[in-house]
């Protein structure tokens, strides 16, 4: 079995290049995001690191709000507090957003 998630990124050369450079930690986070039932133990900072690994940006906004941006498409989220793990609904929103961008397992 390949250590790389099988991703359907047809026509997305920018994502292909990012995936080649992606560390095992980021691949693990990506796999966890696409796992069903949805996990509630994914650290939000791991999601932010994944966005950066995919060539995106994480921008600070007011308070705990952050803007995640990949290929000009933004997703606004709130960092969880006081805990560090993303809520299930946040993981599902990230999964849907990544799927819309053409990244899926």
d(C-alpha 76, C-alpha 65), whole Å: 7
Question: How high is the mean pLDDT of the chain?
Answer: 84
Instruction: Inform me whether the pLDDT recorded for 92 exceeds 60.
Output: yes
Angle, helices 24-33 vs 44-53, to 10°: value is 110
Q: Determine contact, residues 86/39, Cβ cutoff 8 Å.
A: no
pLDDT tier at 11, thresholds 50, 70, 90 = very low
- State residue 30's pLDDT score: 94
Share of the chain above pLDDT 90, in %: 61
Rg, Å, the chain Cα set: 13
- 25: tokens are 């930690």
């Amino acid at each position: 079995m390949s250590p790389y998630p099988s991703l359907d990124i047809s026509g997305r050369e920018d994502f292909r290049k990012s995936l080649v450079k992606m560390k095992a930690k980021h691949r693990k986070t990506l796999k966890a995001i696409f796992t069903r039932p949805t996990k509630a133990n994914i650290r939000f900072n791991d999601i932010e690191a994944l966005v950066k690994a995919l060539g995106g940006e994480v921008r600070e906004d007011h308070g705990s709000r952050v803007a995640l941006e990949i290929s000009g498409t933004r997703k606004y989220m709130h960092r969880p507090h006081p805990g560090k793990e993303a809520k299930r609904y946040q993981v599902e929103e990230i999964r849907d957003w990544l799927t819309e961008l053409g990244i899926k397992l």
